[in-house]
Amino acid sequence: MFNFDFRCSIILFIAASIGGVISMSNIENKSLIAIIIYTIAFIIIIVDILICLYLKRYIRIGKKRYLLWDFFKRPRVKLTLKGKDLISDDMKDINIVKSLIYLDVSYNLISNLSFIKQYKLEKLRILNLSHNKIIAIDELVYLKNLEELHLCSNEIYNIIPLSNLCKLSCLDVSRNPVRNLLDSIDNILENNPNLKDIRCSRTLNEYVTL
């Protein structure tokens, strides 16, 4: 993928080449044609600049920058950002990935899920938030199509909001300080007929059978 400066250089080089060919030819009104060519090249560059500014050429997620054009080239359904030391603010541009179905942001430093509500990730079916610093999960109620959710090793104490995820079939809330764990699980099961796989051990050595 060419960077912006390189694209500008190519456009100007092509315009200069065409202008040179015209200057050596027998075409009348050479100056006028050359001016038109350079004007078109200049307009193309200006439009390119405006598009870059409007769409944000680069998407920064954590310490890594993603080229915007790569996101538009083809539908992107899977994004893995595992172990990138991301915090919640680093997810501010995740809305660019409009076709996202699978998202893995495990082993990071995310403490809240405000990006989910703000950018409406309704198409998500699989979400891995394991090994972060998440406390509240109220924003997950907006993920109506979520089928698989991994919340292992966080700081979550209330999982009742998950009872609103009717399509959920796999849930991992193990190794969280959940209050009234079994009662909460019962509540979730009553509202989630598709939920078949649940992992909810409080510690590494504990296993809860449902």
Does residue 207 lie in a domain region? no
* Total count of domains within the chain: 2
Q: What mean pLDDT is predicted for residues 148-169? A: 93
Q: What mean pLDDT is predicted for residues 7-16? A: 60
- What is the structure's pLDDT at 135? 94
Looking up residue 114, the CATH number of its domain turns out to be 3.80.10.10
Q: What mean pLDDT is predicted for residues 174-194? A: 88
Q: What mean pLDDT is predicted for residues 123-150? A: 93
pTM over 0.85: no
Buried b (16+ CB within 10 A) or exposed e, 61-87: bbeeebebeebeeeebeebebeeeebe
Band of the pLDDT at 62, cuts 50, 70, 90?
low
Give the amino acid at 178: V
Q: Which domain holds residue 84?
A: 74-199
127 and 175 belong to one structural domain:
yes
Higher pLDDT, 9 or 199: 199
Does residue 210 lie in a domain region? no
Higher pLDDT, 100 or 59: 100
Does residue 63 lie in a domain region? no
Higher pLDDT, 86 or 30: 86
- What is the structure's pLDDT at 57? 53
Does residue 84 lie in a domain region? yes
Q: In the predicted model, is pLDDT for residue 204 greater than 50?
A: no
| Cα 113 from chain centre | 13
